[in-house]
């Protein structure tokens, strides 16, 4: 069911590393023209690592990994583009919609392909404000045997609760050269990761051991935002508390909460949060590319089955 662009299909045939990228951050997460900057920087970062980028989306009802230039322009311009999570994929296909995929939806598409590495900004998690909404990203991470690279969870979330859910769902959280779970805009959350790794090769070795144990959860690889762009945790927290009060007074709920809070944070920080967002997206794409290349070159053993226990 998944359409692959010729470049992505050729890379998979040749055993070249491929990195999936979500399209929701381009069509909903970042404003115009920052979304174009993000697409260009992330794609170029993956290519610098020697891998091939594959932006995930639903195009006129066709789930795809990889967008043509014309298709990418449609998503960047946002005309007629809806936000699609994993639960929305079937309806988007049947109704022939154009849908920008979230982390959850991107993982769902990857599970039907041979693309094994995914780079994003920050995963969704448990929200702070009642009714304590929980992102579908966590459920998909628990059942998608892939590697996901991010800067932790978005700092607008309840990070301790999000990590508790990841633990309950048995999702390993591997810190890349860090011992703390990053807080998206900030490097520090004072929350420990499951384990640390110092190289892409070590991450690939952990991934292979994880699969040989019959595990089907994703491997969540986290790294802090680049030092030059990272913001102080205390600054973000102060801004966030005020933004949450504003959201409550305006009765902002559900899917509208995250874009609302991110917009308020950007305004309060004079755009520095957007700069941090772009920097961490690029940095994560570089690391994901390195992992994809290391994974592709790790040919000493067959690719593990996505569902080892059923074989």
What is the rounded CA–CA span in Å between residue 16 and residue 33? Answer: 31
Residue 310 pLDDT level (bands cut at 50, 70, 90)? very low
| pLDDT greater than 50 at residue 178 | yes
pLDDT of residue 301: 45
Report, as an integer, the average pLDDT of 200-210.
98
pLDDT (tens digit per residue) in 222-236: 999 999 999 998 888
Instruction: Please state the domain extents for the chain.
Output: 3-310
Residue 71 half-sphere exposure toward CB, CA atoms < 13 A: 20
pLDDT digits (tens, 9 = 90+) for 33-68: 999 999 999 999 999 999 999 999 999 999 999 999
Q: What is the CATH number of domain 3-310?
A: 3.40.1790.10
Distance CA 147, CA 305 (A): 14
Give the pLDDT mean for 80-108.
Answer: 98
Per-residue pLDDT, averaged over 85-99, amounts to 98
- H-only helix segments in 61-135: 69-77, 89-94, 103-110
Cβ atoms within 10 Å, residue 80: 10
What pLDDT score does 262 carry? 82
Average pLDDT of the chain, as a whole number: 92
- Whole-number pLDDT of residue 198: 98
Angle of helix 272-297 versus helix 257-268 axis, rounded to 10 = 120
User: What pLDDT, on the 0 to 100 scale, is given for residue 309?
Assistant: 35
Count of CB atoms situated within 10 Å of the CB of 48? 13
**pTM (2 decimals)?**
0.92
Name the residues annotated as catalytic: 22, 154
CA distances from 278 to 18, 106, 122, 124 (A): 21, 20, 12, 17
């Amino acid at each position: 069911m998944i359409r692959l662009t010729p470049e992505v299909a050729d890379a998979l045939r040749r055993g070249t590393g491929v990195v999936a990228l979500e399209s929701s951050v381009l069509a909903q997460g970042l404003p115009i023209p920052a979304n174009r900057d993000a697409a260009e920087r992330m794609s170029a970062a993956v290519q610098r690592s020697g891998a091939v980028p594959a932006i995930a989306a639903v195009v006129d009802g066709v789930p795809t990994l990889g967008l043509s230039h014309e298709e990418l322009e449609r998503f960047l311009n946002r005309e007629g583009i809806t936000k699609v999570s994993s639960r929305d994929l079937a309806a988007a296909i049947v109704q022939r919609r154009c849908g920008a995929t979230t982390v959850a939806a991107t993982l769902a598409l990857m599970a039907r392909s041979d693309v094994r590495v995914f780079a994003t900004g920050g995963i969704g998690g448990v929200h702070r404000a009642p009714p304590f909404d929980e992102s579908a990203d966590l459920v998909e991470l628990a059942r998608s045997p892939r590697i996901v690279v991010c800067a932790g969870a978005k700092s607008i979330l309840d990070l301790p609760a999000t990590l508790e859910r990841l633990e309950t769902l048995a999702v390993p959280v591997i810190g890349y050269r860090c011992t703390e779970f990053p807080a998206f805009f900030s490097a520090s959350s004072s929350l420990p990761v499951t384990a640390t790794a110092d190289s892409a090769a070590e991450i690939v070795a952990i991934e292979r051991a994880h699969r040989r144990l019959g595990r089907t959860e994703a491997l969540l690889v986290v790294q802090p935002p680049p030092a030059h762009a990272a913001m102080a945790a205390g600054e973000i927290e102060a801004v966030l508390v005020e933004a949450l009060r504003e959201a409550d007074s305006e009765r902002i709920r559900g899917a509208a909460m995250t874009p609302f809070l991110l917009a308020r944070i950007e305004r309060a920080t004079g755009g520095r949060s957007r700069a941090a967002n772009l920097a961490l997206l690029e940095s994560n794409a570089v690391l994901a590319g390195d992992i994809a290349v290391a994974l592709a070159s790790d040919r000493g053993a067959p690719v593990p089955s996505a569902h080892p226990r059923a074989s």
